[in-house]
Structure 1
Amino acid sequence: MKKFAVLFVLIVAALLAIPGYVGHQVEARYQVLVARLEMSGFQVAKHIYQRGWFGANAETDFVLPIPAPDADIPDNIKEVGFSIHSDIVHGPLMPAGGIGLAEINTRILVDGENVFPEDYPAKIQIRVSWNGAGETLVDLPATVIPSNENRPRIDFGGMSGQMLFNAGFSKIDTTMALPGLSVSEGEAKRMVLQGVRADSKSWLDESGLMLGGGVFEVDRFELVMIDDLTSIVLQEIGADVDSGKQGENVSGTITCRLKSADINGDLYGPAILEMSMGNLPAEVLVNIQQGMEEIQRQKLPQQQQAFAAMSVLMSNGPRLIKSDPKFSIDRFSVKTPQGDVEGRFSVQSIGLLWKEIANMQAIVQKLEAEAELKMPESFFRFLFAQQVRNQVVQQIEMRRQMGEEVEVPEPHELDAMADAAAEEQLQRLLFQEVLIRDGTMLSTQASLSSGLLSVNGKAIPLPVPGAAQAQ
């Protein structure tokens, strides 16, 4: 009987001691999560972790600097603050059932306010198993967030998803779905999102890089500008991303798709863009990644961050150039109201050295590039005329801001000016044989190899730096 009593006491003592031990493990893993967010660009303004025996509470305030759309203030940065409040239950017994290391339930506040109503049944839960692996579950039901003086009305269609991770966060699989979201001002809907889905799989390569790929899709996106004069409707948007290693180098591909785009009544699409990058040394990319993370940890002012980032890129430039990196647009195709536009482009340096970067003649000698483009003549005229209109309007606005009295041309005068400029430019390019006319289509082909530029089969002399001074 005494032995049983002693055994019972030992079991109870062990069960009471386990949450204390677990608490230390959970806090360490939570700090890693915060550090990863900080490395991703979020600035930690405050972090409090209060650990108890059977649970803990954590509060972390983040600041995310984003560019503010204010034309009067160059490089204007707006800071958006949000907080993550977490209630943590230590194992071994989990409230949701079973055993594990911890269960974390989280609330998100923006500028000190709950994003959702107080009684909103939001579920953002992290479950961590004994080996450190776990899953994050997101279940946000549909709701309406009423407007106030700081924000418009938001009709939120809900969000659900799951992220699976292993103990070291070296393998992460994520799925997320947002059925719908709309933003309204009064009775007018300014923005609508429908059918957003994301699915990604990534892993930490032995080099220290996160590689992998994923798919991002949106069924419909609508945007109406405040002036009600500009509306954009995009349907069936998609992007496929993939990256991997070939020997010691990293390569990647990005494919963007669009079924249709209605811009102020003009219909574009379908469209596709396929891009690829190759010969990127994994070691160099890791160094750049670590350098950028160190900049984030130092919490430098925005201007100093830009200089520091440039320094990181410059210090890794020699090894990056030495690997002969390549970039290409393997396919570009879009249907426009005037007809189909198609093109491709590729560029690669071969044997270029970092010390030759300032030598334009050496760069030209060691670049291999090809380009093709085909478009309707009417589309060329449309694009060039639109560019002229925008330039004239900007110049008029700049002169007005300087206090000048400017005579504004009538719409038909502006159109005539833009059309005449487009015609002049087109005839110049046709005469120079930079563009070739074939019926209603314009096309061009160009290549650069061993310092020789060829456009539509015709060799084009390249200017030699310093030649004019020598003469």
Structure 2
Amino acid sequence: MSRPTRIVAALAAVALIYPAASWYSGTRIQQVLDERYADIQSHPALKVSERVYERGFFSSTEKLKVDIAMTVTAEDGSLQMGEPLRMSVLNRIQHGPLPRLGTLAAATLDSELDVEGEAGAKLRETLGDKPALQAQTVVRFDGSGHSRMTTPALELELAADTERALRVAFSAFQADIDFGPGMRQYTMKLGIDRFSMEDPSLRIVMSELALDADQRRLFDDEAWLYVGKQRATIASLHAEGKDDGEMAGIDLQLERLSYEVDASAEGDYVDVIAMLGTEVLRVGGSDYGPAHYDFSIKHLHGRTLMELYRSLIEVSSDPAQLALQAEDPAAMFAPLAEPALTLLAHDPEFSIDRISFTSPHGTASLSAHVNLKGIEPDELNNPMMLLAKINAAAEASLPQGLVVALIGAQAQSPQEAAVVAAQLQQQLDMLEAQGFIVRKGGQLGSRAALSKGQLTINGQPLDLFGLGGR
């Protein structure tokens, strides 16, 4: 066989095989999408209300509508179910194995997302013919892939000329997502240069918002519980009350703000450590930065945590439950009681690892820890048995000058301020003499601990019921 003949034969073989390979690729990408939508349907507040899939040999088109349950605030302040927020998605799918002859993959998707209803009409006033979100996605044969999402700049005004008027604006932004098979793990990077939100009484402006995430599913059969790390940073945030609004006088400035969450898992249990910090915390003309708020929740039973989450979503999405809550706000807790009690039975630990800020008078700090060991559901209604099971500790330190300044700021005159300062000094002397506080280096400190039903303050036992015997 001559070389030209071999080339022609090879091309003919490819021509015969490629349609079959493309058909298989089309089957594979449809399976991947079926799995994604099954995950969506498993969420109590989400529903795939319509799906039309037009299958071809080399390409397909999919039209999808997803409804998100929404609550609205009635005139009496109660929550009611509103019309669902409906999003429509158009996917233009190019089948592999060489979609667009540019990559080896099961498929590529060009996606456009739009919002329907009143919210969608408002968006179109700003965006015109542009979709609210666009995405270009490459899906490999194992279901993993990469997606790049982009949005145009947006300015949206809701409920104009009412007390609930709200104007939201943000610059165009981009998000890159790498995902594993079945979305069992993913990484994400997102950045927004500027975001603002304004109502009749307050304006908030943020700049340089960035979000990074590296997550994996704790359970393969549970689509909505991920563990891993997330980090968000904001270069600056300014909240300012309007002169003619109910929040007049508010002037809050934060700079170099960060929020980190690390959720780790051991077996079926989850530990969550969160850290919120800002280098600058300026209130009015005073700077209280750097400031930190770090907390952790440990030994949470993952399956029960998801049961509690689903119960909360279902309660918030059930018109009958919302109507009941309007008459009795405590009614919403009844469906949550069983999973909440079960969660407590798994010995969770709650900690405020650090609350701190810096003032002109010194640094203020607080830490606390609560550990619940072997709590039984019937013990929650028995204070004596509950006290015997709780192990807790707290420690606080405040600059005395800050306490004096805050209390003195309420005085109407210098003479009144002097009287208030003298009274405060007497109270501090009495608390120190009784052992409730310790004064050292201009700081007011106190440590409390509760273990096996015994409360101590600064190491000294305190009668919980007499509060006088020491």
- From 243, 251, 254, the counterpart of 1:231: 251
How many residue pairs are counted as aligned between the two chains? 436
Distance 1:96 1:328, change over 3 A: farther
Distance 1:35 1:335, change over 3 A: farther
Structure 1 residues 441-450 or 120-129, which shifts more?
A: 120-129
Cα deviation digits, residues 277-330 of structure 1 (max 9, x gap): 222234433544565677789887546799998466433455533432211122
Distance 1:422 1:267, change over 3 A: farther
Distance 1:352 1:224, change over 3 A: same
Is 2:145 aligned against 1:131?
no
What displacement does 1:177 show?
1.0
Residue in structure 2 matched with residue 252 of structure 1 by the alignment: 272
What displacement does 1:136 show?
1.6
Residue in structure 1 matched with residue 372 of structure 2 by the alignment: 349
For 1:242, give the aligned amino acid. D
CA distance in 2, matches of 1:348, 1:461: 21
Query: Does the residue aligned with 2:273 lie in a helix, a strand or coil?
Result: strand
Q: How does 1:244-393 map to 2 (within 5 A)?
A: 244-288=264-308, 301-302=321-322, 310=333, 313-317=336-340, 319-380=342-403
What displacement does 1:16 show?
4.4
Is 2:218 aligned against 1:205?
yes
Distance 1:426 1:365, change over 3 A: same
What displacement does 1:24 show?
4.9
Is 2:135 aligned against 1:112?
no
Residue in structure 1 matched with residue 207 of structure 2 by the alignment: 194
- The answer to whether the Cα contact below 8 Å between 1:446 and 1:454 also exists between their aligned partners in 2 is yes
Is 2:170 aligned against 1:156?
yes
For 2:231, give the aligned amino acid. V
- From 172, 185, 191, the counterpart of 1:177: 191
What displacement does 1:133 show?
1.0
CA distance in 1, matches of 2:427, 2:339: 43
- The answer to whether the Cα contact below 8 Å between 2:35 and 2:182 also exists between their aligned partners in 1 is no
- The answer to whether the Cα contact below 8 Å between 2:256 and 2:279 also exists between their aligned partners in 1 is yes
- Report the aligned-residue RMSD: 4.4
For 1:266, give the aligned amino acid. S
What displacement does 1:38 show?
5.4
Query: Does the residue aligned with 2:279 lie in a helix, a strand or coil?
Result: strand
CA distance in 2, matches of 1:130, 1:307: 50
CA distance in 2, matches of 1:452, 1:166: 51
CA distance in 2, matches of 1:21, 1:62: 31
Query: Does the residue aligned with 2:304 lie in a helix, a strand or coil?
Result: helix
CA distance in 1, matches of 2:316, 2:20: 38
Distance 1:232 1:287, change over 3 A: same
CA distance in 2, matches of 1:149, 1:324: 46
Structure 1 residues 202-211 or 450-459, which shifts more?
A: 202-211
CA distance in 2, matches of 1:146, 1:241: 30
Cα deviation digits, residues 336-357 of structure 1 (max 9, x gap): 3443101211111233322212
- From 222, 236, 245, the counterpart of 1:220: 236
Cα deviation digits, residues 183-233 of structure 1 (max 9, x gap): 5789x9933211111111111235755211121111111122343532221
Q: 5+ residue gaps in structure 1?
A: 390-410, 465-471
Distance 1:442 1:369, change over 3 A: same
- The answer to whether the Cα contact below 8 Å between 2:189 and 2:213 also exists between their aligned partners in 1 is yes
For 1:160, give the aligned amino acid. Q
Residue in structure 1 matched with residue 61 of structure 2 by the alignment: 56
For 2:36, give the aligned amino acid. L
- Percent identity of equivalent pairs: 19
Query: Does the residue aligned with 1:356 lie in a helix, a strand or coil?
Result: helix
- The answer to whether the Cα contact below 8 Å between 1:42 and 1:64 also exists between their aligned partners in 2 is yes
- The answer to whether the Cα contact below 8 Å between 2:110 and 2:134 also exists between their aligned partners in 1 is no
Query: Does the residue aligned with 2:102 lie in a helix, a strand or coil?
Result: coil
Give TM-score, length-normalised by structure 1. 0.76
Distance 1:319 1:119, change over 3 A: closer
Q: How does 1:412-451 map to 2 (within 5 A)?
A: 412=412, 426=427, 429=431, 433-438=435-440, 440-451=442-453
Distance 1:11 1:304, change over 3 A: farther
What displacement does 1:96 show?
8.1
For 1:174, give the aligned amino acid. M
CA distance in 2, matches of 1:362, 1:146: 54
Distance 1:279 1:63, change over 3 A: closer
- The answer to whether the Cα contact below 8 Å between 1:350 and 1:367 also exists between their aligned partners in 2 is yes
CA distance in 2, matches of 1:458, 1:421: 28
Query: Does the residue aligned with 1:365 lie in a helix, a strand or coil?
Result: helix
Distance 1:362 1:58, change over 3 A: same
Distance 1:293 1:261, change over 3 A: closer
For 2:211, give the aligned amino acid. A
Distance 1:148 1:361, change over 3 A: closer
Is 2:44 aligned against 1:44?
no
For 1:452, give the aligned amino acid. Q
What displacement does 1:18 show?
5.4
Q: 5+ residue gaps in structure 2?
A: none
CA distance in 2, matches of 1:258, 1:7: 64
Query: Does the residue aligned with 2:51 lie in a helix, a strand or coil?
Result: strand
CA distance in 2, matches of 1:277, 1:239: 16
CA distance in 2, matches of 1:11, 1:299: 58
- The answer to whether the Cα contact below 8 Å between 2:187 and 2:215 also exists between their aligned partners in 1 is yes
Residue in structure 1 matched with residue 463 of structure 2 by the alignment: 461
CA distance in 1, matches of 2:48, 2:106: 31
Structure 1 residues 220-229 or 22-31, which shifts more?
A: 22-31
Distance 1:385 1:309, change over 3 A: farther
For 1:112, give the aligned amino acid. G
